[in-house]
Amino acid sequence: MSRPPTEDELVERARRGDGAAFGALVRMEEEIAFRTAYLITRNAADAEDAAQAAFVKAFYALPRFRRGAPLRPWLLAIVANEARNKRRGGGRREALVQRAAQELPSGDAAPSPEGRLLAEEQRAELLVALESLGEDDRLVLSCRYLLELSEGETAEVLSLRRGTVKSRTSRALERLRGHLREER
């Protein structure tokens, strides 16, 4: 059985105009691309438009993509740019919401109902505090922790220097701590 193509192989094929290879790359990155766009636009329809437009632009821009470089940050930078352009157009902003609480199986390892309630309240509190931050802070923390991007990837996505990402993350965490203290 033949092994599945690597990202580099798919990129190379897409660079030569292979739409199916590019489609495979899109499938690999569509979730994080959409979520990146959503965290910036805060509107699902705008995020979908932005991510889709970004992928099409990326396909055309593939000849300028540096061979061997990781694709994701390059793609996400295009997505973020499209999303910022979309956001300038206005539109309804949606707030981040928590998933509905799920039923957990009972047993020794399962937290008590009180414990679950407490954890849920803490998460809700954290989400409110995150949402109350300024946009720069919120975006840098979203990239680093909600999207789990590295400092380098965050720098590319937000068009910042790596050092700026580091210092901005540190300051944003401090401010988030402050908001959490105020909420108590």
Partner 1 sequence: MSELELRLVALREEIDFPPTPALSVAVERAVALAPARRRRLRPLALVLAVVLVAALGVLALSPGARSAFLELFHLRGATVSRVEELPEVELIERAELLGVPVTLAAARRRAGFELADLGEPDEVYLRGDGLVTFVYGSIERPRLLLSQVRGMVWDGFVKKVGARGTSVQEVEIEGERGLFVSGDPHFVMYLDSMFRIQEERAYLAGTTLLWNRGDVLFRLEADVELAEALELARAVK
Which window, 69-77, 107-115, 146-154, 156-164, contacts partner 1 (CB under 8 A)?
146-154
* Residue 60 found at the interface with partner 1 (CB under 8 A): yes
Distance CA 37, CA 84 (A): 8
Q: Is residue 16 near partner 1 by the rule CB under 8 A?
A: yes
**How far apart are CB 7 and partner 1 at their closest, in Å?**
15
* Assigned token pair, 159: 């068009």
3-state DSSP assignment of residue 109: coil
* C-alpha neighbours within 13 Å on the C-beta side of residue 77: 14
Place of tokens 């999303």: 83
- Contact between 74 and partner 1 by CB under 8 A: the answer reads no
Measured CA to CA in angstroms, residue 183 lies from 29, 125, 130 at distances of 36, 8, 12
Q: Residue 140 is inside which H or E element, if any?
A: helix 135-141
CA dist., res. 184 & res. 17, Å (int): 56
Where in 152-171 is the site for partner 1 (CB under 8 A)? Answer: none
Instruction: Choose, by CB under 8 A, the member of 104, 110, 115, 145 that binds partner 1.
Output: 145
**By CB under 8 A, residue 78 contacts partner 1:** no
Closest distance to partner 1 from the beta carbon of 66 (Å): 14
Using CB under 8 A as the binding rule, whether residue 66 contacts partner 1 is answered as no
Q: Fill in the per-residue mask, 91 to 130: x = in contact with partner 1 (CB under 8 A), - = not in contact.
A: ---x-xxxxx---------------------xx--xx--x
Report the C-alpha gap between 46 and 93 in whole angstroms: 10
Of the pair 1, 53, the CB lying nearest partner 1 is at 53
Q: Crossing angle, helix 19-41 and helix 44-61, to 10 degrees? A: 140
Give CA–CA dist 169/154, Å, rounded: 10
Which residues would be at the binding site for partner 1 (CB under 8 A)?
15-17, 19-20, 22-24, 26-27, 30-31, 33-35, 38, 44, 47-48, 51-52, 55-56, 59-60, 63-64, 94, 96-100, 122-123, 126-127, 130, 141, 144-148, 173, 176-177, 180
